[in-house]
Amino acid sequence: GTNMTGSSSDLEFADGTFLQLITAPQGRAGSQGGIEMTAQLDRPLNELFDFNFKFRTKSSIASTGMLWLWNYQFNRWDFKKSFPTRTTEGDSVVTVTNMNRYVDANGVVSIRLRGHIPVNRPGGTSAWTYSVDFAQLEASYEAPPP
């Protein structure tokens, strides 16, 4: 994507303040754009469970949203789930298992949120606005024994 407005602070809270970018046509792949971010775990991975990625998105025309995670084991982006991105803001939650392959030695998780319209759908050959209001990684943890 191009022409980004906003900053990482717009992703912290569901407050109606969006990080926005203009998507870019990618030939036969259609029109797409997205953001990459990192999350820092505040506890060791072996103390955490029930990982959920929560985010709020919208776009100027209906599109498909996608969540990708960087796989540190195989050095590649892994597609996790698609979800509808509408012209009105909507919340999505993606539960991820086997997080050990998506967390580096320092507890960092790399995340990619992308909006996409195939070339054969209206909007698939033009630029449109993809917006993210908030994005967060949540996990449950076990308290250490007394």
Q: ∠ CA(90), CA(91), CA(92), 5° rounding?
A: 125
Q: Are 51 and 137 in contact (CB under 8 A)?
A: yes
More confident position, 18 or 92: 92
Q: Which amino acid is at 48?
A: L
Top mean-pLDDT range of 31-35, 107-111, 140-144:
107-111
Written as six digits, the tokens of 53 are: 């990625």
d(CA 89, CA 103): 29
Provide the 10 A C-beta neighbour count for residue 73.
Answer: 10
Nearest to 107 by CA among 34, 36, 51: 51
- Residue 6 pLDDT > 90, yes or no? no
| pTM of the shown model | 0.83
Residue 17 pLDDT: 72
pLDDT tens-digit series, residues 37-90? 899 998 889 889 899 999 888 898 989 999 999 999 999 999 999 999 889 888
Q: What's the confidence (pLDDT) of residue 78? A: 97
Task: State whether residue 99 is helix, strand or coil.
Answer: helix
